[in-house]
Amino acid sequence: MKTFTSSLFALAATLSLVSAAPAAVAPQVAERGAPYVAVTLYGAAGASYTTNVYYGEEPTYTYNALSVSKVSYDYNLAYCSFYGIDEEIAPPVVANGGQVGPPQTIVSIYCECLE
């Protein structure tokens, strides 16, 4: 019984030392921009919604039935392609106010980071 009690105290002392040890400090990581771009899609009668489109190999699905005729996002940050319910829609023309055509429900968006 004496050995068991001694072992128990030794184990408790070891655990208290481990829990008292300082946590490892994470190395500093250089700040980068967000891994996504915010895209706002506009329909008729002032209807709109905004979604974050993450950069990468997979498109971002919108899950919104709004018929979209115009989009806006930071054109200096990303290049985006819009996939409609009927077909792939041409990228918006910046000089034309971000108009896309023909107006239709956007199913998914794919963006590439330009930075």
pLDDT for the residue numbered 30: 46
What pLDDT, on the 0 to 100 scale, is given for residue 19? 47
At residue 32, the pLDDT reads: 53
* Nearest-angstrom CA–CA distance, 30 and 2: 55
Mean pLDDT, to the nearest integer, of 95-101? Answer: 76
Burial of 31 (0-12, 13-18, 19+ CB in 10 A): exposed
What pTM was estimated for this model as a whole? 0.67
Reported as a single tens digit per residue, the pLDDT across 41-74 is 999 999 999 999 999 879 999 999 999 999 999 9
What the block records as the tokens of 47 is 């209807």
